[in-house]
Amino acid sequence: MKKLAGKWALVTGSSRGIGRHIATGLAEHGCSVIVHGRTLDNTQGTVDAVMALGVEARAVAGELSSPGTVDALITNVFDLGVSVDILYNNAAIQGSWKPIWDTTQEDWESIMQVNVYSLIQLCHAFGPSMKERGWGRIVNLSSGIAAVPNLGPYSVTKAAVDKYTIELAAELRGTKVLVSALDPGWLRTDLGGPQAPGAPESVLPGALVPVLLDDNAENGQYFRAQDYAK
């Protein structure tokens, strides 16, 4: 029997790129997937790919650009009538390449909203029910980016994600709900750009390591997907 058979995962930003690979990787382990994109039309390719692997797939659409749109997305997930056992917070934005002195308050706020605040909102929506059921996995996408001032807001948000992951893991210690951070590596995606050294598919199998951890594993671990790349 596949290890994730009977489980449901919500993978944000899974209509393409890294998120699609994560979704299909979970499906290969028997996990059904809730695919998320900005529009339902965008999700169809991933839905088809997941279902081709013999598991169920549902789709939800929604922006992460405000607390209200995230609330609407959460409601749409609840309305599906399935329990989220795995929350994979993959979605993020990078912002414009510009001198750090030229980043505005609006730049900081918009990137913080998508990369940090929406992630926290999703964790708070689905984490408590995982704790009640006695099992769950939450994976927050991090980044190895550092000392790139022209992408300062993006870098700072990923540092915030790392710290929040540690705090949430401490809250859930001993509950069999494991929270992890994952650095996917610099990959040739819309976010990473064509100059990135890694192919998007190299996020696997590393991206699945924090999901497949034994229940008694250390909580709050940080993983680098490229450490497992073949």
Active site residues: 154
Query: Which two three-digit tokens encode residue 196?
Result: 């990135």
CA angle 58, 59, 62 (to 5 degrees): 150
Q: What is the pLDDT of residue 230?
A: 78
Three-class secondary structure of residue 183 per DSSP: strand
68/47 Cα distance (integer angstroms): 25
Quote the pLDDT of residue 193: 66
Sign (positive/negative) of CA torsion 188, 181, 97, 40? Answer: positive
pLDDT at site 53: 98
Query: Looking at residue 122, what is its pLDDT?
Result: 99
pLDDT tens readout for residues 121-146: 999 999 999 999 999 999 999 999 99
Q: What is the pLDDT of residue 177?
A: 98
pLDDT < 70 positions in the chain: 187-189, 191-193, 195-198
Domain spanning 8-228, CATH class: alpha beta
Q: What is the pLDDT of residues 185-215, one digit of tens each?
A: 875 667 666 765 557 788 999 999 999 999 9
In 29-151, alpha helices (H): 40-51, 67-79, 105-112, 118-133
Helix-strand-coil split of the chain, %, nearest 5 = 45, 15, 40
